[in-house]
Structure 1
Amino acid sequence: MDADFGEDGGAMERFETASLPIMAGQRVRATVLSHHPWGVIAQIADYDQVGASVDMIEQFSRTTVGDEELRSLFPAVGTEIDAVVEQVRRWSPPAWVRLSIRPKDLESFGWPCDFCGRRAVLSAGGDGLVMDVRSNDGPGSHTVIAHRTCLADRVDPGRIGERARALAVGRRST
């Protein structure tokens, strides 16, 4: 764990540093480690210190008829799967990643904007931003999802550069 220093000068442990490069909407490869009644535990390639899971009931139970059909969708243990990061939870150790393997999410992943509630597309080229909210008071963080325009509209109008960066961050210049 990496140590940061709080206001009192004392070291605080930041457990979530290994997961910081991982963000909602990112495509990843993962290996299925085990099956559970609700879904699977997986290991994201190159992120040994970060836990991950796929909630198969949440993702597929509305589209299947019965437990047997749902269980048939579980990827086999040892299988390498394509997935998209749905959520990263860094509230308490260990950091945990919820993955989606829904075909539609692999194509284009969206999540409700925390400002307006409408779907923000977090896949490459989308209209959404992922913000990691942290405090100097201690470890842990929270993710906020926003449309570029929702964030820019909430930045002080006098902060023209900040508004422009909210609209441009991650965009390729042509």
Structure 2
Amino acid sequence: MADTPTDADIEAVTRQLGRYPRGMVAVGRRCEVCGTPLVTVTRPLVEGRIPFPTTFYLCGTAAVRAASHVEAAGAMAAYTEMVQSDPTVRSAYHRAHRIYLAFRHELARRLGDTEEHIEGISAGGLPVRVKCLHALMAQSLAMGPGVNPIGDLVLERVADEFSPSVCHCDAA
């Protein structure tokens, strides 16, 4: 939560999402060129009462588009198969789930939010299947390489279309 969003960040994310980013408490990752938010950190309870389980929310337009292209290509089934059949990937994916839960728990503790509504649930299908590449890519962007193996693979796959070190923030 070290990167508290500014009014300009909230305006940028509002433009990206087409709506106000309810529950945004930090910027999880920025464009390395211009500083525009690519990932938000969202509290477990929005407005103090509405459950919101997606802690790391992918908001950068080019990043969202890139993840959508991979999903549309049907990659989630192949990634799920990888998680279920490769013991190394499965172990790393379970670890990503535990790290996600620990981060959200600390966030909830600091903010005074409760987590009963999402206890043991992270995002993106963790820890047993691949459901949302946006959430997995967001975790990799926010927490860095080596935390979520599937998020890392998606980032590698979309490198020609999206990279946090190449600014696409003004692209339509």
TM-score if structure 1 supplies the norm length? Answer: 0.24
Structure with the higher helix share, 1 or 2: 2
TM-score if structure 2 supplies the norm length? Answer: 0.24
- Greater RCO (CA < 8 Å, at least 6 residues apart): 2
Structure with the higher strand share, 1 or 2: 1
Rg larger for:
1
